[in-house]
Amino acid sequence: MSIDEKTVRKVAKLARLALPEERVAPMAKELNGIMAWIEQLNEVDVEGVEPMTSAVEGLSLPMRDDVVNDGADPERVLKNAPKSEDGFFVVPKVVE
Protein backbone atom coordinates (compact mmCIF):
# COMPACT_ATOMS: atom_id res chain seq x y z
CA MET A 1 0.00 0.00 0.00
CA SER A 2 1.65 3.20 -1.07
CA ILE A 3 0.83 6.54 0.48
CA ASP A 4 -0.07 9.16 -2.12
CA GLU A 5 -0.12 12.92 -1.65
CA LYS A 6 -3.87 12.94 -1.13
CA THR A 7 -3.49 10.52 1.77
CA VAL A 8 -0.69 12.61 3.29
CA ARG A 9 -2.95 15.68 3.23
CA LYS A 10 -5.82 13.71 4.77
CA VAL A 11 -3.67 12.22 7.53
CA ALA A 12 -2.12 15.63 8.31
CA LYS A 13 -5.64 17.04 8.59
CA LEU A 14 -6.66 14.20 10.96
CA ALA A 15 -3.53 14.83 13.04
CA ARG A 16 -4.16 18.60 13.07
CA LEU A 17 -0.73 19.33 11.63
CA ALA A 18 -0.41 22.18 9.14
CA LEU A 19 1.72 20.75 6.32
CA PRO A 20 2.98 23.34 3.82
CA GLU A 21 2.24 22.29 0.24
CA GLU A 22 5.95 21.95 -0.60
CA ARG A 23 6.35 19.42 2.24
CA VAL A 24 3.57 17.10 1.01
CA ALA A 25 5.57 15.27 -1.69
CA PRO A 26 8.75 14.82 0.42
CA MET A 27 6.64 13.63 3.36
CA ALA A 28 4.88 11.07 1.13
CA LYS A 29 8.31 9.78 0.12
CA GLU A 30 9.55 9.58 3.74
CA LEU A 31 6.41 7.83 4.94
CA ASN A 32 6.51 5.37 2.04
CA GLY A 33 10.12 4.53 2.88
CA ILE A 34 9.15 3.69 6.45
CA MET A 35 5.93 1.88 5.53
CA ALA A 36 7.73 -0.22 2.88
CA TRP A 37 10.08 -1.44 5.60
CA ILE A 38 7.12 -2.17 7.88
CA GLU A 39 5.42 -4.28 5.17
CA GLN A 40 7.63 -7.24 6.17
CA LEU A 41 5.18 -7.84 9.03
CA ASN A 42 2.92 -9.43 6.40
CA GLU A 43 5.29 -12.42 6.38
CA VAL A 44 4.35 -13.35 9.96
CA ASP A 45 1.68 -15.97 10.50
CA VAL A 46 -0.68 -14.38 13.02
CA GLU A 47 -3.57 -16.81 12.52
CA GLY A 48 -5.38 -17.29 15.83
CA VAL A 49 -2.97 -15.02 17.76
CA GLU A 50 -4.53 -12.76 20.39
CA PRO A 51 -3.46 -9.13 19.95
CA MET A 52 -1.21 -8.01 22.80
CA THR A 53 -2.84 -4.97 24.35
CA SER A 54 -0.90 -4.80 27.60
CA ALA A 55 2.79 -5.21 28.41
CA VAL A 56 1.96 -7.12 31.58
CA GLU A 57 -0.08 -10.30 31.59
CA GLY A 58 -3.15 -10.52 33.76
CA LEU A 59 -3.01 -6.93 34.89
CA SER A 60 -6.41 -5.78 36.06
CA LEU A 61 -7.07 -2.10 36.11
CA PRO A 62 -7.90 -1.17 39.69
CA MET A 63 -10.81 1.13 40.49
CA ARG A 64 -10.35 3.84 43.06
CA ASP A 65 -13.02 5.00 45.47
CA ASP A 66 -15.35 7.47 43.85
CA VAL A 67 -14.44 10.40 46.04
CA VAL A 68 -12.95 13.81 45.36
CA ASN A 69 -9.24 13.57 46.22
CA ASP A 70 -7.86 16.52 44.31
CA GLY A 71 -8.99 19.79 42.81
CA ALA A 72 -10.26 23.20 43.88
CA ASP A 73 -6.89 24.54 42.78
CA PRO A 74 -7.58 26.67 39.69
CA GLU A 75 -4.45 28.79 40.11
CA ARG A 76 -2.15 25.81 39.75
CA VAL A 77 -4.20 24.38 36.89
CA LEU A 78 -4.01 27.66 34.95
CA LYS A 79 -0.41 28.45 35.76
CA ASN A 80 0.93 27.43 32.34
CA ALA A 81 -2.03 28.60 30.25
CA PRO A 82 -1.12 30.72 27.22
CA LYS A 83 -4.24 32.80 27.97
CA SER A 84 -6.53 32.79 31.02
CA GLU A 85 -9.04 35.08 32.69
CA ASP A 86 -11.07 34.93 35.93
CA GLY A 87 -10.13 31.32 36.61
CA PHE A 88 -10.82 30.10 33.06
CA PHE A 89 -8.77 29.12 30.02
CA VAL A 90 -9.36 31.59 27.20
CA VAL A 91 -9.63 29.75 23.87
CA PRO A 92 -10.60 30.79 20.32
CA LYS A 93 -14.29 30.86 19.49
CA VAL A 94 -15.55 27.31 18.87
CA VAL A 95 -19.17 27.96 17.80
CA GLU A 96 -19.97 30.77 15.39
Partner 1 sequence: MEKKQFSSVDLTEAFIAAIDKANPHLNAFVVTTPEKARAQAKASDEKRAAGKAGPLEGAPLGIKDLFCTEGVRTTACSGILGEFTPTYESTVSGQLFRDGAVMLGKLNMDEFAMGSSNETSHFGPVVSPWRRGNEDSKLTPGGSSGGSASAVAADLCLGATATDTGGSIRQPAAFTGTVGIKPTYGRCSRWGIVAFASSLDQAGPIAKTVEDSAILLQSMAGHDPKDSTSLTNALPDFRAATKRSIKGMKIGVPEEYRVDGMPAEIEALWQQGIEWAKAAGAEIVPISLKHTKYALPTYYIVAPAEASSNLARYDGMRYGARVAGRDLNSTYENTRASGFGAEVQRRILIGTYVLSAGYYDAYYLRAQKVRQRIAQDFRDAFERVDAILTPATPSAAFALGEKGDDPVAMYLNDIFTVTANLAGLPALALPAAVDANGLPLGLQVIGKALDEESVFAVSAELERAAGFRAKAAKWWV
Contacts with partner 1, residue ranges (CB under 8 A) = 1, 3, 7-8, 10-12, 14-19, 27, 30-31, 33-35, 37-38, 40-44, 46, 49-57, 59, 61-62, 64, 76, 79-83, 89, 91-94
C-alpha gyration radius of the chain: 23
Least distance (Å) between residue 72 CB and partner 1? 14
Cβ partners under 8 Å of residue 28, min gap 6:
3, 4, 5, 7, 8
Least distance (Å) between residue 38 CB and partner 1? 4
Measured between alpha carbons, how far is 5 from 24 in angstroms, rounded to an integer? 6
Least distance (Å) between residue 86 CB and partner 1? 16
* 3-state SS assignment for residue 88: strand
